[in-house]
């Protein structure tokens, strides 16, 4: 198969690998200047019966992983088909698989093995909490990037709670890593994934798999034999490690660990016992949630935030260097109600380091000392309002992702959280647990990816080619805007959806200033779709409406940059437009900062009559202008 020049909108730059049914290409997304990996299936390589089944699996992989947002899982960006190919566009991981490292005779010390398994279980735990079981966990599906971070890939035979692609009796997986129930064609759940992690851990610690031989031999051993204790093969291992891995490899699913966090905690204790850093606990089961355990967790979290106890990674010949300084993401939660703090800590404690306080001043002092990846703040608090906390948090730690969590829909406060705090999302109380976890996972992913990225300090040039588009009915806002900044950049006018789209196709637009009055659903739908398709364009919304729900939707689904009430404050309009132009230029210099402008996909907007009308025209703009601006 010859290498295509393009697949969909993606420019092909090389081949990453080939298989019997297709290839994986290195691609480039011109819309947001991002390198990607493109996994393909060549339709001509399969007969019709095989093709339809495999395409269903392929689409299922995109759907299963597309809803997962976690730094330990390879992200899915897009899915598409044409006459020749079906393809999944995913995150490009710069590194090798664990399988490749092992083939090159890499050796890992106990701390490194502990870190590999911790990260692997962290990613699987997130997938499991979202109802996705991988079912083919193995070293070749475990990527290690150049920073020593694990990325789980290839969810091609994953099972979701709503999936009907496989039925009772199907045998799926890779023999050495398959649990007994997989060989028997029984229903497969979380314990099967954890069994596979047990096999990987056993191999990393002992240099051999628990069962070896042909597929038939391995199956007989998996079903009938107990593997040798790991400590009999590696005397450095504590007997506690024997207990942990024998439980992970138990014949019956109900006898194994039932969750990734449970396995992770037990494995960490076994690694520490093997290192001689603490006495082995009497049992594998996690300690009860008593006061002593709570104090232990708090001490561990505080030490992690301060960077205490991060041992340097040893690097024996052939081994990668895992970044031991990388800890779980840190969440700072501020709310004046202890019950809310307790609930949030309970939800997130196993996956992240969670720091909670009722005092906004203490929260800010803490942020000055330690980097927080995500800040979640209530709004209506007696010591410090949430909007003020988020404003100062933005100044202290601009790379943190900020979320407003409140049941008090005060429009002025919500507007302040946008203009001063630049919140990523607004979450209403009472919250939906699944939606809350998904939103926080997305925020953590962005924060970890951008931890070292810094917004460029951009001085606005005297002249810019990228301009401002004003959408209003009576040209009043247009006249003000043109007078205020018309000497710096072009200012275009539109009084309808059609003229707005025509203006964006005719000229590079950096900023959209839109008057969103009640009843203008077409404009709000366009703003939502515009941010999904062209995240580099900044939007400033003006309205006389007092509908806080409208503003909340625009935060979550259109990621508006600034919000202005009418009658218009001309000074603020000038400040906001110039800030938006500067941010646009910063995006050009550091496109990765666009990650902070991800939005929730608005199904309603995409499927509405307005959405159908504008979507194709917006897609045509992607990559057409962005990156072309030069300072005069």
Q: How confident is the model at residue 457 (pLDDT cuts 50, 70, 90)?
A: low
Range(s) of the domain holding residue 394: 330-449
Active-site positions read 136
* Alpha-carbon span 9 to 30, nearest angstrom: 8
Q: Do both 20 and 34 map to the same domain?
A: yes
Q: Which pLDDT band, with edges at 50, 70 and 90, does 165 fall under? A: very low
Residue 322 resides in a domain = no
What share of the chain in percent tops pLDDT 70?
76
Residue 171, pLDDT > 50, answer no
Number of folded domains that form the chain: 4
In a domain, 132, yes or no: yes
Residue 58 CA neighbour count, 13 Å, CB half: 24
325 within some domain: no
For 104-146, write each residue's pLDDT tens digit: 888 889 999 999 999 999 999 988 988 888 888 999 889 998 7
Mean pLDDT of the chain: 78
Please tell me whether residues 222 and 279 are part of one structural domain. Answer: yes
The verdict on residue 612 lying in a domain is yes
In Å, how far from its chain's centre is CA 131?
Answer: 16
Q: 404 versus 624: which is more confidently predicted?
A: 404
Residue 583 lies in a domain: yes
**Between the CA of residue 491 and those of 22, 485, 509, 577, what are the distances in Å?**
48, 8, 9, 11
Examine the fold and report which residue of 91, 117, 151 is the final residue of a domain before the chain moves on. 91
Q: What is the CATH number of the domain that holds 274?
A: 1.10.510.10
242 and 163 in a common domain: yes
Q: Is residue 347 part of a domain?
A: yes
Residue 154 within a domain: yes
Same-domain check for residues 148 and 87:
no
Judge if 391 and 490 occupy the same domain: no
281 — pLDDT class (breaks 50, 70, 90): very low
* CATH code of 75's domain: 3.30.200.20
- Conformational region of residue 131, where left means phi above 0, alpha means psi within -120 to 50, and beta covers everything else: left
Worst-scoring range by mean pLDDT, 45-54, 313-322, 381-390, 616-625? 313-322
Q: What is the pLDDT of residues 316-356, one digit of tens each?
A: 333 333 333 334 788 999 988 888 888 888 888 878 888 88
What pLDDT score was predicted for residue 454? 54
Assess if residue 461 is contained within a domain: no
Antiparallel, parallel or unpaired: β 509-515 and 467-471: parallel
The residue from 91, 111, 130 where one domain ends is 91
Distances in Å between the Cα of 268 and the Cα atoms of 75, 117, 591 are 27, 9, 38
User: Hey, which bits of 490-537 come out as E strands?
Assistant: 491-494, 509-515
The CATH number of residue 574's host domain is 3.40.50.2300
Task: Assess whether 118 and 251 both reside in one domain.
Answer: yes
Which residues pair with residue 88 across a beta bridge? Answer: 39, 79
Q: Could you check whether the bond before residue 430 is cis, i.e. omega within 30 degrees of 0? A: yes
Q: How far is CA 70 from the centre of its chain?
A: 4
> Hey, which residues does 562 pair with through a beta bridge?
540
How far apart, in whole angstroms, are the C-alpha atoms of residue 175 and residue 65?
Answer: 23
Query: Which of 63-72, 122-131, 168-177, 277-286 has the highest mean predicted lDDT (pLDDT)?
Result: 122-131
Q: Do 505 and 402 have their domain in common?
A: no
Does 240 score more than 60 pLDDT? yes
Query: For residue range 180-229, what is the model confidence (pLDDT) as tens digits?
Result: 988 888 888 999 999 999 999 999 999 999 998 888 888 889 999 999 99
pLDDT-derived band at 497, boundaries 50, 70, 90: confident
**Quick one: 252 and 141 in the same domain?**
yes
Q: Are residues 430 and 514 in the same domain?
A: no
**Co-location of 130 and 71 in the same domain:** no
- In this prediction, residue 610 has a pLDDT band, given cuts at 50, 70 and 90, of low
Same domain, 266 and 140: yes
- One domain for residues 71 and 173: no
Quick one: pLDDT at residue 352?
85
């Amino acid at each position: 198969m010859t290498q295509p020049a393009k697949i969909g909108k993606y420019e092909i730059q090389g081949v990453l690998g080939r298989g019997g049914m297709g290839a994986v290409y290195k691609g480039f997304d011109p819309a947001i200047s991002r390198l990607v990996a493109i996994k393909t299936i060549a339709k001509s390589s399969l007969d019709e019966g095989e093709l339809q089944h495999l395409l269903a699996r392929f689409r299922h992989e995109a759907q299963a992983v597309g809803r997962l947002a976690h730094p330990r899982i390879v992200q899915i960006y897009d899915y598409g088909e044409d006459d020749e190919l079906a393809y999944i566009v995913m995150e490009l991981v710069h590194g090798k698989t664990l399988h490749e490292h092992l083939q090159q005779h890499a050796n890992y010390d106990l701390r490194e093995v502990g870190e590999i398994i911790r990260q692997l279980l962290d990613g699987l735990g997130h997938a499991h909490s979202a109802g996705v079981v991988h079912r083919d966990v193995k070293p070749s599906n475990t990527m290690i990037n150049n920073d020593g971070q694990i990325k789980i890939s290839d969810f091609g035979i994953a099972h979701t709670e709503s999936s009907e692609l496989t039925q009772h009796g199907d045998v799926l997986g890779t023999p050495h890593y398959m649990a007994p129930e997989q060989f028997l064609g029984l229903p497969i759940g979380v314990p099967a994934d954890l069994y596979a992690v047990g096999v990987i851990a056993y191999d990393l610690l002992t240099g051999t798999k628990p069962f070896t031989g042909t597929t038939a031999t391995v199956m007989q051993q998996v079903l009938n034999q107990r593997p040798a204790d790991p400590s009999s093969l590696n005397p450095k291992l504590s007997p506690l490690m024997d207990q942990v891995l024998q439980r992970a490899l138990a014949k019956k699913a109900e006898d194994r660990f039932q969750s990734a966090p449970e396995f992770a905690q037990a494995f960490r204790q076994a690694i520490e016992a093997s290192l001689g850093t603490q006495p082995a606990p009497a049992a594998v089961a996690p300690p009860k949630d008593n006061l002593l355990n709570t104090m232990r967790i708090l001490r561990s979290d505080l030490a992690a935030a301060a960077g205490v106890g991060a041992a340097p990674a040893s690097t024996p010949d052939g081994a990668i260097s895992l970044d031991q300084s990388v800890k779980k993401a840190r969440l700072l939660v501020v709310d004046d109600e202890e019950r809310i703090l307790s609930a949030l800590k309970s939800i997130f404690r196993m996956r992240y380091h969670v720091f909670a306080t009722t005092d906004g001043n203490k929260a800010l002092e803490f942020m000055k000392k330690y980097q927080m990846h995500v800040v979640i703040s209530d709004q209506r608090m007696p010591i410090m309002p949430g909007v003020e906390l988020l404003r100062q948090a933005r100044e202290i730690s601009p790379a943190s992702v900020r979320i407003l969590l409140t049941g008090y829909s005060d429009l002025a406060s919500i507007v302040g959280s946008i203009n001063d705090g630049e919140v990523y999302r607004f979450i209403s109380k009472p919250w939906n647990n699944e939606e809350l976890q998904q939103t926080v996972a997305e925020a953590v992913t962005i924060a970890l990816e951008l931890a070292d990225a810094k917004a460029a300090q951009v001085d606005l040039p005297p002249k810019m080619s990228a301009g401002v588009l004003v959408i209003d009915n009576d040209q009043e806002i247009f006249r003000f805007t043109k007078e205020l900044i018309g000497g710096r950049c072009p200012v275009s006018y539109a009084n309808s959806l059609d003229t707005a789209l025509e203006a964006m196709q005719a000229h590079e637009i950096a900023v959209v200033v839109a008057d969103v009055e009640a009843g203008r659903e077409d404009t709000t739908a366009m703003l939502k779709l515009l941010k999904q398709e062209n995240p580099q364009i900044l939007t400033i919304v003006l309205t006389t409406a007092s509908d806080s729900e409208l503003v909340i939707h625009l935060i979550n689904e259109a990621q508006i940059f600034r919000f202005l009430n009418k009658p218009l404050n001309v000074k603020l309009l000038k400040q906001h437009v110039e800030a938006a132009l500067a941010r646009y230029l910063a995006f050009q210099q550091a496109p990765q900062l666009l990650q902070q402008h991800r939005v929730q996909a608005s199904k309603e907007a995409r499927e509405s009559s307005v959405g159908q009308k504008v979507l194709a025209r917006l897609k045509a703009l992607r990559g057409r202008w962005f990156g072309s601006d030069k300072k005069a």
